[in-house]
Structure 1
């Protein structure tokens, strides 16, 4: 069933859907009064709703039944990606959203081929956020992951102080068979805690970047015995988190 994220909380048992979502309901899905869809409020509560009224400004959808349960990971995972080439970051955001990521932070790494100025960064971030929203609707999430405009390393280090755990996916550790750091980290995490994990661009992280991250409390970890591409590694990590917290129990 189609799912939409409401910008405002329910009022008198009715959600008012506006903007692009209203256009999608009316012009793309061609829904009529009485048709039903899922609406998610800003507090991540989901409800089965029925269209009560369609106007030029909004779609008024009345709550039929609130839906129990959540599809969210029990821990908050922030994926930090050194800016990759082409549309790889879009792929990471789309698939990472489907796999349960809480937040995406691109950063301008020393070995990033792509360089974005402030204007392009804002425009890109708007597109990335739209991709995350559409993927969250498709995968029946109860929240839309936040997507940052690209940060430099110093800004990233400052932001990292807010996280419970911090890791670097470092291929040198993978080559040495060091996968226990990831296991120990996930085993130590409790529900609601946060993990920030940094992935390099195609050329990997520079030695000085790894040193600065480690000085800020990041631990280097491997992701198994194979060397993964920059767009594959975040998806491996999220799959491992899902298995550890959602399937092992």
Structure 2
């Protein structure tokens, strides 16, 4: 069943009007026909099971069959603070993090970040990153589209995380798995938790100290050194299994 997102003002009592780029995709790529069943989400946790009623020039009208709360969201809000990686690794990270249930992604510029984006490049990159998040949300039947926020410095990210219930920061010099197990167990339904991941060069020692001073908990991810595109996904996977009902 194909999945689409709409805004609240597109939802009526008995029907939903799909507009924008999805119309061309449905008509000319998916070649959908009247009567086909589709899943529509409002981006705020509610799902609508519908049938295509009419395909018009600028919109597709879907009749609502049933509706209910989305059952695909994790009970806790997990925010991935991802140190900017090189190349197209960020696109891979966003796609997989969305599939694993992340609530929000924050690109972070750190001491060892190699990638530097000026205003226009950052704007274009953010549009692409959010488009990837939307595509991944559709594919994985998410009830909402996780937002990729504007790039923050580490200080800005740490300040933002002060509003969270907790934050963890995997660090290769952290020893033992007991602290990591305690951190995973501490994330409970209803909480908001941050996960700080460094870029290819990792975090500088002064950055780890700053994170700890802001209340983040350094944890080990095992005896092996994980790449930046692996570390965050490993943490999200463990938390997904711990939280999934």
Counterpart CA distance in 1 for 2:85 and 2:69 is 39
Counterpart CA distance in 2 for 1:214 and 1:231 is 23
Counterpart CA distance in 2 for 1:12 and 1:226 is 54
How many Å apart are 1:67 and its aligned residue?
4.7
Unaligned runs of 5+ in 2: none
Q: String of CA shifts for 1:199-240, please: whole Å, max 9, x gaps.
A: 000010111211111111111111122111000011111110
Counterpart CA distance in 1 for 2:186 and 2:239 is 12
Q: Name the counterpart of 2:195.
A: 197
Q: String of CA shifts for 1:17-36, please: whole Å, max 9, x gaps.
A: 11111221112111122222
Q: Name the counterpart of 1:219.
A: 217
Q: Name the counterpart of 1:114.
A: 115
Q: Is the 8 A contact 1:18 1:58 kept in 2?
A: yes
Tell me which stretches of 4 or more aligned residues in structure 1 moved more than 4 Å.
none
Counterpart CA distance in 1 for 2:237 and 2:63 is 36
Equivalences for 1:79-158 in 2 at 5 Å? 79-158=80-159
Q: Is the 8 A contact 1:124 1:149 kept in 2?
A: no
Q: String of CA shifts for 1:97-133, please: whole Å, max 9, x gaps.
A: 1111111111111101111112111111110011011
Q: Is the 8 A contact 2:45 2:69 kept in 1?
A: no
Counterpart CA distance in 1 for 2:51 and 2:78 is 34
Equivalent pairs, count: 244
Q: Is the 8 A contact 2:19 2:59 kept in 1?
A: yes
How many Å apart are 1:155 and its aligned residue?
1.5
Q: Name the counterpart of 1:26.
A: 27
How many Å apart are 1:64 and its aligned residue?
1.0
User: What is the alpha-carbon root mean square deviation over aligned residues?
Assistant: 1.4
Q: Is the 8 A contact 1:17 1:59 kept in 2?
A: yes
Q: String of CA shifts for 1:51-110, please: whole Å, max 9, x gaps.
A: 122222211111112256511111111111111001111110001111111111111111
Counterpart CA distance in 1 for 2:62 and 2:93 is 33
What TM-score do you get using the length of structure 2 for normalisation?
A: 0.95
Q: Name the counterpart of 1:49.
A: 50
The worse-fitting range, judged by mean Cα deviation, of 179-188 and 214-223 is 179-188
Counterpart CA distance in 1 for 2:70 and 2:142 is 11
**Of 216, 235, 238, the match for 2:236:** 238
Counterpart CA distance in 2 for 1:108 and 1:224 is 25
How many Å apart are 1:15 and its aligned residue?
1.1
